């Protein structure tokens, strides 16, 4: 029963808070980004903390940070390819995948292994 209460609070309150935060910024397309990703991450961390303890939750948090850094690298490479090389969206997104993998794997070896 306690897990359902945590899910409800994390899913409802946190999603609402990030949706309000997203409405404060322009463009409004950021509202979905602010509502979805951080709230899911916080809900996952709160469940991991309540079910498995702080050591496991800390490992999950580090994994999320590594994933965010790898996503940033992928997005940056994709942007550069779209702007400077005049790639199509599909070609740029596909060509940037090795950058994501390289950053994710390097950070995994350094911090998570």
79-89 pLDDT tens trace: 999 998 888 99
Could you tell me if 28 and 60 lie in one domain?
A: no
Q: Cis link prior to 3 (omega < 30° from 0)? A: no
Could you tell me if 33 and 6 lie in one domain?
A: yes
Could you tell me if 60 and 111 lie in one domain?
A: yes
1: which DSSP letter? -
Could you tell me if 35 and 88 lie in one domain?
A: no
Q: Measured between alpha carbons, how far is 28 from 8 in angstroms, rounded to an integer? A: 26
Could you tell me if 104 and 65 lie in one domain?
A: yes
Tokens standing for residue 109: 């070896």
Least reliable range by pLDDT among 18-22, 35-39, 77-81, 89-93:
35-39
What is the arithmetic mean of pLDDT over 34-58? 80
Could you tell me if 25 and 43 lie in one domain?
A: yes
29: which DSSP letter? T
The range of the structural domain enclosing residue 79 comes to 54-113
Which pLDDT band holds residue 110 (cuts at 50, 70, 90)?
Answer: very high
The confidence score (pLDDT) of residue 95 equals 94
**Cβ-contact 95, 46 below 8 angstroms:** no
Could you tell me if 58 and 45 lie in one domain?
A: no
Of residues 12, 14, 34, the one with CA closest to residue 23: 34
**What is the count of structural domains for the chain?**
2
């Amino acid at each position: 029963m306690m897990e359902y209460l945590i899910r409800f609070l994390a899913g409802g309150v946190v999603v609402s808070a990030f949706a309000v935060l997203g409405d404060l910024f322009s463009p409004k397309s950021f509202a979905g980004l602010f509502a979805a990703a951080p709230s899911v991450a916080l809900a996952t961390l709160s469940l991991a903390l309540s079910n498995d303890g702080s050591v496991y939750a800390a490992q999950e948090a580090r994994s999320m940070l590594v994933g965010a850094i790898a996503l940033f690298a992928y997005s940056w490479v994709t942007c550069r390819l779209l702007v400077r090389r005049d790639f199509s969206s599909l070609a740029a997104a596909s060509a940037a995948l090795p950058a994501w993998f390289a950053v994710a794997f390097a950070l995994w070896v350094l911090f998570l292994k």
